[in-house]
Amino acid sequence: MHNQPKYIPLRETHFFKSGRSERPLVAGTVARGQLREDDLLYTGKVDGREVNEFPFPVTEAVVERGQQRFNIYCSPCHGTTGLGDGMIVRRGYRRPPSYFEARLMNAPVGHFFDVITNGFGAMPDYKAQVPVRDRWAIAAYIRALQLSEHATMQDVPPAERDKLNAQPSAPGSK
C-alpha cells in the first residue's frame, strides 16, 4: 500500500536501461501545444538578429515578476543590483560584467533573452530552470535596473516620490 507499483516522479524503473521512468521526447516529435513557431518569443531573434522589442506588453506585473525571478536565478552571481558581485562570485566564480557597462547598456533586449536561454562565456544556460515568459520578464527587469543606475529624482513620477523618501534605507545601501 505504502509503495504502489506505479511511477511517481523520479521513481526508478527496471524497464529502461537508464533506470529513468521519465522518458525524453522522441526525436523529431513535438508535444501538443509546444510547437515553437514564434521566433521572437522563443529565441529573442528575428531573421537571426537580436531584437530590441518585447513579444508581449511589459506591465508593472511583468517587471515585478522579473524582479522576483531575477532575485532567485540571477542574483546569486549578478548580485541584486546587477553589478556582478553576487555571493557565488564572492565564493570564486568568474565575475560577470556589470549591467552598466556601455556594451550591455546598448545591447538589444533580445540579447539578454538569448544569454539566459543559451548561456554566454562562463554563464551556463537557464532554459531548463526559467520558463520562456519569465526570461522575458527578467530581461525587462534588467532594463529597469539599468535605468535605475543613473536615474535621478526627476525620473520618478511625482506621485511616487514621497513613497521613495518615506522608505527607510535597506541594509548595505546608502
Partner 1 sequence: MQIFHRSANTLSKLSIFGGLLVVGLLLLFMNAFESSGWVTTQNEIQTQPIQFSHARHVGGNGIDCRYCHTSVETSAFAGIPPTKTCMNCHSQIFNQASYLEPVRASYRTNTSLRWVRVHDLPDFVYFNHSIHVNKGVGCSTCHGRVDQMPLVVQVQSLQMQWCLNCHRHPERYVRPRADVFRMDYTPPTDQLALGRKLVAEYHIKPVADLTSCSTCHR
Spatial CA neighbour of 110 closest among 62, 58, 49, 66: 49
Ramachandran class of 19: left when φ > 0, alpha when ψ lies in -120 to 50, beta otherwise: left
91 binds partner 1 (CB under 8 A): yes
14 binds partner 1 (CB under 8 A): no
SS3 49: strand
13 binds partner 1 (CB under 8 A): no
Q: Number of residues in contact with partner 1, rule: CB under 8 A?
A: 26
Site for partner 1 in 109-168 (CB under 8 A): 122, 124, 128-129
Could you give the string, one character per residue 28-67, with x where binding to partner 1 holds by CB under 8 A and - elsewhere?
A: ----------------------------------------
In the complex, what is the shortest distance from the CB of residue 9 to partner 1, in angstroms, rounded to a whole number? 4
Angle, vertex CA 142, rays to CA 169 and CA 71, nearest 5: 60
88 binds partner 1 (CB under 8 A): yes
Q: Which is nearer to partner 1, 45 or 127 (CB)?
A: 127
SS3 73: helix
Q: 3-class secondary structure for 96-147?
A: CCCCCCHHHHCCCHHHHHHHHHHCECCECCCCCCCCHHHHHHHHHHHHHHHH
Which residues contribute to the site for partner 1 (CB under 8 A)? 1-4, 6, 8-10, 12, 18-20, 71-73, 76, 87-88, 91-94, 122, 124, 128-129
